[in-house]
Amino acid sequence: MMPELLSNTLGVRCEADRVAVIRSVADAQDVVRNALERGQRVQLLGGASNVVLLPRIRGTVAVVRNRGIERLSDEGRWVAVRVAAGEVWETFVQWCLHNDVPGPENLTLIPGSVGAAPIQNIGAYGVEVSAFIETVEAVDLDSGELIELSAADCAFSYRHSRFKEDANFLITAVRMRFDRERAPSTSYPGVAADLADHTPQGVADAVRSIRRSKLPDPQFIGNVGSFFKNPVVSREDAAKLAGSIPDLVTYDTAQGCKLAAAQLIDRAGWRGVRRYGVSVWDNQPLVLVNDGADSGEQFLRMAQDIRADIHHRFGVVLEREPVVMGET
């Protein structure tokens, strides 16, 4: 059996024993059941834009590519849609902009697929996708059965959900509901300043221009976006840290004070540093870019160096954001 290469936005090398492209729910169930018969469990990939692939994956990787955007109901204020997991997230955002469906415009230009959106609860510029999700349809990897999870079942929080912890589901579709009476979200620093008009298209344009100025386009420069989550610390720890970083950025959350990992990495002098073929992106030091790396291990090594330094200097632990898949 010839191993198959898996493309990914980091641009690193990864071979899987088997790759199964999923184009329908029936495909998904077949692949899951076939793997179960061999005593295996499939591993899952959407757009491969938020994953660090290591050189080798044993067993089958299911690449989800089913398509379809369906308007389930549209009654004045509320619009409900069902979107196949394999749709490209940005295609869906554009569909919303062209079909008078407001809400996801702040999430424009996020790479990846619709099915991956609930996994890390994608969020940017003041909006998280969990605000819209009603249910998630998935194939249970233990049984091959099609099930539906409610938003509560998904346990969404900042950059997190149940799907990140128990990899038990192959997501096949996401049902979302949008409110036409909801005011556009323009509170994130920079969005209002860039706003030409208060329409979803105006917000999308503002977000696109901010993203383009800060973030490398994964089509041209290998990256998975933020490599770390913004850390949440106690108010006392944040106050202590403000002693050494006077303009410390903090956001109050129910769990404590959220800090800007980018600022800590920046202040520690990592901006633009290159090691192991990996560079810290100049305009947003939360992003690590491929600068000659061949293996996901090189990214993990760089991330470990940064993590250790930030811990040593500031006593703050940075948690990795993308998922790691495979082995060396």
State the residues that interact with ligand EPU by CB under 6 A: 124-125, 159, 188, 214-215, 225-226, 229-230, 249, 260, 262-263, 266, 271, 284-286, 321
Place of tokens 């899952």: 44
Nearest-approach distance from CB 120 to ligand EPU, in angstroms: 8
Selected catalytic residue, list 49, 226, 279, 295: 226
Chain centre distance of CA 97: 21
List Cβ neighbours of 189 (8 Å cut-off, separation of 6 or more): none
150 is catalytic: no
Nearer CB in complex with ligand EPU: 57/232: 232
Please compute, for residue 316, the number of CA atoms within 13 A of its CA located in the half-sphere on the CB side. 32
Query: 145, 139, 110, 134: which is closest to 124 by C-alpha?
Result: 110
Place of tokens 């898996």: 6
161 is catalytic: no
Nearest-approach distance from CB 288 to ligand EPU, in angstroms: 11
295 is catalytic: no
Selected catalytic residue, list 65, 159, 162, 307: 159
Nearer CB in complex with ligand EPU: 73/219: 219
Nearer CB in complex with ligand EPU: 77/212: 212
Nearest-approach distance from CB 328 to ligand EPU, in angstroms: 25
Contact 81, 101 (CB under 8 A): yes
Question: What is d(CA 107, CA 125) in angstroms, rounded to the nearest whole number?
Answer: 7
Residue 38 tokens, joined: 């061999």
Element (H, E) at 143: none
Nearer CB in complex with ligand EPU: 157/263: 263
Query: 250, 269, 271: which is closest to 259 by C-alpha?
Result: 250
Nearest-approach distance from CB 114 to ligand EPU, in angstroms: 16
Nearest-approach distance from CB 283 to ligand EPU, in angstroms: 7
**3-state secondary structure at position 157:** strand
Nearest-approach distance from CB 317 to ligand EPU, in angstroms: 14
Long-range contact list for 205-209, CB < 8 A, 24+ apart? Answer: 207/105, 207/106, 207/108, 207/109, 207/124, 207/125, 208/108, 208/109
Nearer CB in complex with ligand EPU: 18/159: 159
**3-state secondary structure at position 146:** strand
Question: What is d(CA 55, CA 252) in angstroms, rounded to the nearest whole number?
Answer: 40
Nearer CB in complex with ligand EPU: 4/266: 266
- Max Cα-Cα span within the chain: 59
* Helix segments in 234-327, DSSP class H: 235-244, 261-267, 296-314
Nearest-approach distance from CB 232 to ligand EPU, in angstroms: 11
Please compute, for residue 314, the number of CA atoms within 13 A of its CA located in the half-sphere on the CB side. 28
Nearest-CB residue for ligand EPU? 225
Question: What is d(CA 66, CA 32) in angstroms, rounded to the nearest whole number?
Answer: 15
Question: What is d(CA 289, CA 286) in angstroms, rounded to the nearest whole number?
Answer: 10
Nearer CB in complex with ligand EPU: 164/214: 214
Catalytic residues: 159, 226, 321
